[in-house]
Structure formats: C-alpha cells, structure tokens
Structure 1
Amino acid sequence: MDWRDVIDELDAGVERIAATLEGLSRDALRGASALPGWSRGHVATHIARNADSLWNLLEGARTGTEIPQYPSLERRDSDIAAGADRARDELVADVRATQARFSEQARSLPDGAADAPVRAMAGWPHPAWYTVFRRWNEVEAHHVDLAAGYGPADWPEPYVRWSAAATLADLAALPDRHLRGLAGLRITATDSGETAELGWTPGGPEADGSGRALLGWLSGRSDGAGVHVRPDGPLPVPPPWPHEPARFRRGPGL
C-alpha cells in the first residue's frame, strides 16, 4: 500500500477515536483503560502527543535537521500525565488537531525528504515516509486500548492486511533472544498464507489463525481468540509490539 494513501486511513481512524471519546462521560474518561496505570484520558493524550512526535520526524526530514521524536522518555511521560485529566471536549479537540497537523505535514512532504532517514525513539532508523505506517499502528491499537467498545474485530481490512503481514515479517527478523515465548514456533495466517518461522523445525509447535486474529494476539490487543496452537496448550505470550521493521534492519544482533 502506498504510504500517501494511508494518510486518509489515518484521518478516518482518528475520527473514529474522536467519536468514541465524544460518547464517554467525564468519569469514564478518568476510568481505567486497557493499559496498566493509564486512564482513558492518558491514552487519548498519548494519541495526540504521538502525532506531534511523528510530526517532529517529518519536520526533521523536511529541513535536513535531526529532530528527536521526543525530547526524552521522561518528557513524553510527563506530557501524557499532564493532559490526562482534561475535559472531554479538550481531549477530542487535541486528538483531532494534532492528527490534522500531522496529515498536512505528511501530504506536503517533498519526495526527496520522504526518503530521508529518521530515527524512532527506540533508536532504529527508517525513511521518513514510514512514520505514516507507524502512526497507523498507533491509531488502531490505541483505539482498542481505550477499552470503550472498539476492538480488533473493528479494525479496517486495509489496516489488518498491512499490519498482520508486517508483524509476521518483523517477528521473523527478530533475534532469538527477543522472541520470548514465541521461540521455536511457526505462525501461519490462514487467509493469506503468510508465515513466520521463529526457529521452527519440522514437527515443532505451530499457531494459526486469520490475519486479524493473529494481529490481535501478537499486538497484545486480544487474548488470542481465533488463534489455534498445536500441540494443544496455552498460547505463548508475544514480545512487546510493534517491532523494528524487518525491511530497514541494520544487521544481525541489532
């Protein structure tokens, strides 16, 4: 999928988030989200601040000046905490305005700047255009994290097709030490046929399910409903998601 086409998907996804937030009371916004220690207000604020942080990367690519995604992890966390208890209308306006700003920046990014290298907060580099795909994961996964009625079954099909395939490819490129409970497993998407062999050998354990079911499980946004494992037993716990993209990996051991 061309990255410029994803921008419209992002705008639609953020409108869905705004609609969810508009249906929540003040007490509900201060209630627990699906993320430990965070209220729904924390999640909404993070969605907005993430748009700002990825705007920073695009601005760095545009100007040729390295701008970090966040000034620091501490600043990221303090900004989220500071905005978490705002009124509903302020949260909604922030989520919409920051997405509009990010989308405008992405749509107007010159071709040369789109290919400029930028760096994720975790340290790995990628072309500036890939921030659009990173934002897609943030928008769809954190909508689920609001724990307000939107789940993996509601993810748009274009998002599932892209993110499920990317997640399997990225897992397959991870060093064994990062796979945790998935080490030795073969994972297959039954609808697309895509697989990830994570140190698997013939006769070893396997898991399969639709791309949507696998993405829900591997992203930590479902309990693994629709995923089947052989031999029978509990599904292993996946490593933290999302992963460094395989297509931009710098080499073994990194």
Structure 2
Amino acid sequence: MLERAPSFATGHRRPRSRRRRPTASRSVRPPQRRRPAASSSPDPKPGGPAPTRTPGRRPGPEQPAVDRAVREGAERSAGELVDDLRTGLDRLLDAHAMPAERWPVLVTALAGWRHPAWFTLQRCRRELETHHVDLNLGYTTTRWPSGYVAWALDDTIASLTARGFPVARIQATDLDRAWTPAPTGPTVTGPGRSVLAWLAGRGTDPELSSDAPLPTPPRWRLPPTPGWA
C-alpha cells in the first residue's frame, strides 16, 4: 500500500523547505547579488562547458542541521508557514534573471552534493512532488506528471545501479521504459509512478508486480550518479 513518510506533517515539510529553498535560491541567484556557492540535473545547459561527472557523494555534515530544523519547526503556526513559503518562493523565482553562463557553475547542496546550478531546479521539483504526497492532503502519486516520473526514475535507478541494488529488471509499463540495475534479482513491473513511489520509500502499489520478494530501497534521497566535480 502506498504511504506517506512516517510522522510527516505540514510543519515538518516547511522547515525542510525553509532550509533547502534559501540554499537553492542562493545557488541560482544572479552574480550581481551573490555568486553561486553550490547545488543538480542530467544534461548540461547552454552557456558553458559541462562539468566533469564523478560518483555522487553521500550526505555531508550539514544533514543533522536539516533534521534539527525540521524538528524545531514542526509546531510553527499556519500563518508562519505560509509567510515562510512565500518568502522562499520569491527568492527562488529570482532564478529567471540568472545569466545563461552561470547555470553550469558547480554549487553545493546543503547535504554536501556538488552539481551544476541548473540541477537545483530539478532537485526542488523532486522535493515538492514527493513531499506533496507526504502531506496526505489528497495529492497522490497518480497525479505525478509522466515527464517528472520518467526523469526521476532515470536519476534514481542510476544511483541504485551504482550501489548494486539487487533488482534484475524494472519495467514501467505506461512509459514503455525498462532498466536493468543488476545481473540478478527480481523483475519488477508496473506503472512508472508506482515504481517511483516504491523506490522513494513511499510504499508499494497493488499495481506493482514482482516475481520475487521486493528488496528494500536505501533511504531516499540518493546523490546523483554519476555526480559532478
């Protein structure tokens, strides 16, 4: 059965966004305001050479600070959460003024991963799509856009393949796509959204089928693989 992350509520989501969105907005802000410090997507954007891709890094020492902010902010009022969200979105929307040559600049995510500034927008979308489901307010994985699901599956399965995730074949029936992460293991078949929900630790859908017991995916989110350096 599909499920949201345990003990996850609106108050948990906003502090998490509050910590990440300022980092994201600083990463993509035009240089006259602040030069990109560091943040992630799969193809290079025009305006500069593509950074070298290397194996992704696991979360760095700042992750405990994110977890602490989530706990401390969980009891904030609805008004505070809304104001904080609006401020964060306004800062992120500054990205429209980003010069094209700045998008390939390497930035650093709060968890310690390095990637081009343009990948920040994809990270933000993944956060929003996943945690929107976690809020349990009627938005379910069935509403995930197919384009997002296809990208997220490519990104997630590449990271799992690099870590030897024991699944021989994953097939997204509605996307006409298949992946072979490992030489042995079960064959998993189902709609792309159901596959992605399982890999993101959001439970299993009855539409998901496997010819053997499903392995437990590692804790979501994984660093992009290959990463950038």
TM-score w.r.t. structure 1 length?
0.69
In the alignment, which residue of structure 1 is the partner of 2:193?
212
Partner amino acid, structure 2, of 1:221: R
Aligned: 1:66 with 2:37:
yes
Superposed CA offset, 1:59-103 (max 9, x none): 497744636899933432333333221221221222232122112
Task: From the superposition, tell whether residues 192 and 35 of structure 1 become closer, same or farther in structure 2 (CA, over 3 Å).
Answer: closer
In the alignment, which residue of structure 2 is the partner of 1:198?
181
Contact 1:48 1:99 survives alignment (8 Å): no
Q: Whole-Å Cα distance in 2 between the matches of residues 124 and 98 of structure 1?
A: 21
Partner amino acid, structure 2, of 1:246: T
Q: Whole-Å Cα distance in 2 between the matches of residues 207 and 65 of structure 1?
A: 40
Q: Whole-Å Cα distance in 2 between the matches of residues 198 and 65 of structure 1?
A: 34
Contact 2:23 2:110 survives alignment (8 Å): no
Task: From the superposition, tell whether residues 170 and 76 of structure 1 become closer, same or farther in structure 2 (CA, over 3 Å).
Answer: closer
Contact 1:188 1:209 survives alignment (8 Å): yes
Structure 1: gaps (5+ residues): 1-32
Q: Whole-Å Cα distance in 2 between the matches of residues 71 and 53 of structure 1?
A: 15
In the alignment, which residue of structure 2 is the partner of 1:227?
208
In structure 1, which of residues 76, 86, 91 is the aligned counterpart of residue 66 of structure 2?
76
In structure 2, which of residues 66, 69, 78 is the aligned counterpart of residue 88 of structure 1?
78
Q: Whole-Å Cα distance in 1 between the matches of residues 65 and 220 of structure 2?
A: 22
Partner amino acid, structure 1, of 2:5: L
Q: Which moved more, 1:205-214 or 1:83-92?
A: 83-92
Describe how 1:141-180 pairs up with structure 2 within 5 A.
141-172=130-161, 174-176=162-164, 179=165
Q: Whole-Å Cα distance in 2 between the matches of residues 229 and 38 of structure 1?
A: 28
TM-score w.r.t. structure 2 length?
0.76
Aligned: 1:56 with 2:26:
yes
Describe how 1:86-165 pairs up with structure 2 within 5 A.
86-104=76-94, 106-165=95-154
Structure 1 vs Structure 2: percent identity of aligned residues? 33
Contact 1:34 1:147 survives alignment (8 Å): yes
Alpha-carbon offset, residue 163 of structure 1: 1.7
Partner amino acid, structure 2, of 1:66: A
Contact 1:60 1:118 survives alignment (8 Å): no
In the alignment, which residue of structure 2 is the partner of 1:6?
none
Q: Whole-Å Cα distance in 1 between the matches of residues 114 and 199 of structure 2?
A: 23
Q: Whole-Å Cα distance in 2 between the matches of residues 61 and 236 of structure 1?
A: 45
Contact 1:206 1:229 survives alignment (8 Å): yes
Task: From the superposition, tell whether residues 169 and 192 of structure 1 become closer, same or farther in structure 2 (CA, over 3 Å).
Answer: farther
Structure 2: gaps (5+ residues): 40-58
SS in structure 1 opposite 2:85?
A: helix
SS in structure 1 opposite 2:119?
A: helix
Query: Could you say what the CA RMSD is over the residues aligned between the two structures, in angstroms?
Result: 2.9
Q: Whole-Å Cα distance in 1 between the matches of residues 87 and 172 of structure 2?
A: 37
Task: From the superposition, tell whether residues 160 and 65 of structure 1 become closer, same or farther in structure 2 (CA, over 3 Å).
Answer: closer
